[in-house]
Amino acid sequence: MGLGGCIILIAAGAILTFATDWDMQGVNLDLVGIILMIVGLIGVSTFSSIARRRRVVVPPATPVVDEEARHRREY
């Protein structure tokens, strides 16, 4: 599940928790919405930490030293 799926879980959970007033026998939709939002947040944090590890840091370029030119100047 990618970042988009996690955001969809958060949105669906928020809709179930805050925007609906349905009553279902044996199912607490507020609790289901909160669980979906928590799972979505866990997914976003996991995705972010994995994406942060994948970044490649390129070390600064070292200057190129022309050894032959340096020896010619010394003599």
For 37-57, how does the pLDDT look when each residue is reduced to its tens digit (9 = 90+)? 999 999 999 998 887 776 666
Domain membership flag for residue 66: no
- The boundaries of the domain holding residue 9 are 3-54
Domain membership flag for residue 43: yes
Q: State the Cα–Cα distance between residues 39 and 2, nearest whole angstrom.
A: 13
Phi-psi region of 58 (alpha: psi -120 to 50; beta: other; left: phi over 0): beta
* DSSP H or E run through 60: none
What is the number of domains present in the chain? 1
Domain membership flag for residue 29: yes
Domain membership flag for residue 23: yes
Average pLDDT, the chain: 83
Q: What is the pLDDT of residue 75?
A: 53
The reported pTM is 0.66
Q: What is the pLDDT of residue 21?
A: 87
